[in-house]
Structure formats: C-alpha cells, structure tokens
Structure 1
Amino acid sequence: MNWIIRSTKIVKLHTNLYEVLKPIWEDLIDYDWVLTNLDFMSDDEIPINFDKDYFVLNSKEFETLYQSRTQIIWGIISAVPKNTQLDINCISNLSAEDEKAWKHNEFLIEESFLEIVAYDSGYTIVKFKDEKISNQFKEYFQDQAIDLQKFNEKCIN
C-alpha cells in the first residue's frame, strides 16, 4: 500500500497535491493535515509559507492548498485524524531525506492515515494505511504508481 510516482503523464508537476490526491480526495475531507520540511513554489495565496518549520491545517485550509497550483519540491504531507495530539518537536525536525521515507510501511509521522513525501521535484512517495483508498489511488495511476518495495529492490538496493 506504498507507492512511488517517478514520471507520469497524469501529474504535470511533482508534487502538485490536486493531481496526486485527485482520485481519493473525497475520502480525505475529514482529516487534519501536517506539513513539514517544505520547499515549494506557488503563484496562489496559500495557508503555508517559509516562516515556520511546520503547519497543521484543518480540512478547509488544506483544501485551499489542494485547489492551488502549488508544486511541493520537498516535504512531508500527512493526513491525521482531526484533533490528534502530535509531538510538535518531532514533527518540526522531520526531513523528507530521512531513510525511513523510502521504507515500505514506515511512516515518518506515526499518526498518519496517509503520508506523502515529496523528494526533490522528481519523486512522490505515497503511503496508505487504508487498503481501499490505496487501491483507488493505484487504479487511477495504473502502471505509473510503482510499488515502493519493488522500486527499492530494483533501484536502491
């Protein structure tokens, strides 16, 4: 239930949240969102900036980001159940370059329902805890979503 998107005809920008989350968006509207270790480009007014190390957005704030034309170059984006108590010290120190980001079924933010790691504008790692939503994602992206474990066996190990 862990995928990596490297190059695709569907996604014009790595990692544009609208394009990445489009097939599963309706299943994600009841979550809060944690964003950390961000580097991004946007021409739109969005609820994130470079003044903080992390952001916790409610579903309405995240929808503004989702609807924008924003490219996440680096970062960790995580859907967590609403009102989850988070270890902010830990979250503010997370890095998309952490080796754990590439490991199958390991989440950088334990409370994550879904976790996206944007890695250098070229790789988007998407991890799920819900098999049904993972299958919807895979069905939409088809062969463009590569199993993370198989990718690691072929390209990293």
Structure 2
Amino acid sequence: MNWIIRSTKIVKYHTNLHEILKPIWEDLNKYNWLLTDLDFISDVELPINFDHDCFILDSKEFEIIYNSEVQIIWGIISAIPKNCKFNVDLLGKLSSEDNKIWQPDQFLISESFLEIVAFDSGYTILKFTDKKLSDKFKNHFGKEVLSLEKFNQKIPYEN
C-alpha cells in the first residue's frame, strides 16, 4: 500500500496533487490535511505560504490547493482525522529528506490516513493505511506506479 511515482508520463509534473489524487478525491473530503516542510511553485494565492513551517487545513482549504496548478517540490502532505491535535512546532521540524520516507509503511505522521511525500520534484511517494483506497489509486495508474518495496530493491535507501 506504498507507491512511488518516478515518471512524469502519468503526471504533468511532480507533485501535481490534482492528478495524483483524482482517482480517490471523492473519498478524501472527510479529512483535514497537514502540510509541512513545503517548497512549492504557484502563480495563484493559496492557503499555504512560506511564512510558516506547518499548516493544518480543512477539506475546503485543501480543495483550493487540489484545484490549483501548484507544484509541490518538497513536502509532506497528510490526510488526517478531523479531531487530531498536533504540536505544530514539532511537526514543522519534520523533513521530507528523512530516510523513513523510503521505508514501506513508515509514516512520518503516525495519524496519517494517506501520506504523500514530494521529494525534490523527482519522486512522489504515497502511503495508504486503507487498502481499498490504495487499490483504487493503483488501478487508476496501473504499471506507471511502482511499489515502494520494489523500488527499494533496485535502489536501497541507507539507514
């Protein structure tokens, strides 16, 4: 239930949230979204900026990002239950360069229902806790996404 997108054959650019979330978008409206360690390019105003290290958005605020043409270069984006409370200062110190991102089923934010990591505009990693959603995502993209486990067999991460 861990996937990696390496190729831009299936997306215009990494990490295009509208394209990668499209097959499962209707299933995600009951979550809040936690975004941290962000670097992005956008030509429109968004509910995220470079003034803060971490953002917790409701589904309506996140929908603005989903519907935009924002390119996430670096970042951790997590769908989380609406009732979760977090220490934003601690979350702001998380890094998409943490080796844990390459480890299957290891979430940087333990409460994540879905965790997306944008890694230097070259890789998009998606980790699901829900098999049904993971299968729906995989069925949509088919062979264009690779399991993180298989990816690690080819390019092992360092501990």
- Please classify the TM superposition score into its range, dividing by the shorter chain length: over 0.9
Structure 1 position 14 matched with structure 2 position 1: no
What is the Cα-based RMSD across aligned positions, in Å? 0.9
Q: Partner of 1:133 in structure 2? A: 133
Q: Distance in 1 between matches of 2:44 and 2:29?
A: 21
Structure 1 position 73 matched with structure 2 position 64: no
Q: Partner of 1:142 in structure 2? A: 142
Would the aligned equivalents of 2:8 and 2:14 in 1 still touch at CA under 8 Å? Answer: no
Q: CA deviation at 1:49?
A: 0.5
Q: Secondary structure at the match of 2:136?
A: helix
Amino acid at match of 1:143: K
Q: Partner of 1:102 in structure 2? A: 102
Q: Distance in 2 between matches of 1:64 and 1:83?
A: 21
Q: Distance in 2 between matches of 1:155 and 1:75?
A: 21
Q: Which piece of structure 1 moves more, 87-96 or 140-149?
A: 87-96
Amino acid at match of 1:80: I
Q: CA deviation at 1:73?
A: 0.1
Q: Partner of 2:86 in structure 1? A: 86
Q: CA deviation at 1:89?
A: 3.0
Would the aligned equivalents of 2:75 and 2:118 in 1 still touch at CA under 8 Å? Answer: yes
Instruction: Output the TM-score relative to the length of structure 1.
Output: 0.97
Matches within 5 A, 1:106-125: 106-125=106-125
Q: Secondary structure at the match of 1:156?
A: coil
Superposed structure 1 runs of 4+ greater than 3 Å apart: none
Q: Distance in 2 between matches of 1:111 and 1:119?
A: 21
Aligned-pair identity in percent equals 62
How many residues are matched? 157
Amino acid at match of 1:154: K
Q: CA deviation at 1:87?
A: 3.0
Q: Distance in 1 between matches of 2:155 and 2:144?
A: 16
Q: Distance in 1 between matches of 2:9 and 2:23?
A: 15
Would the aligned equivalents of 1:8 and 1:144 in 2 still touch at CA under 8 Å? Answer: no
Q: Secondary structure at the match of 1:132?
A: helix
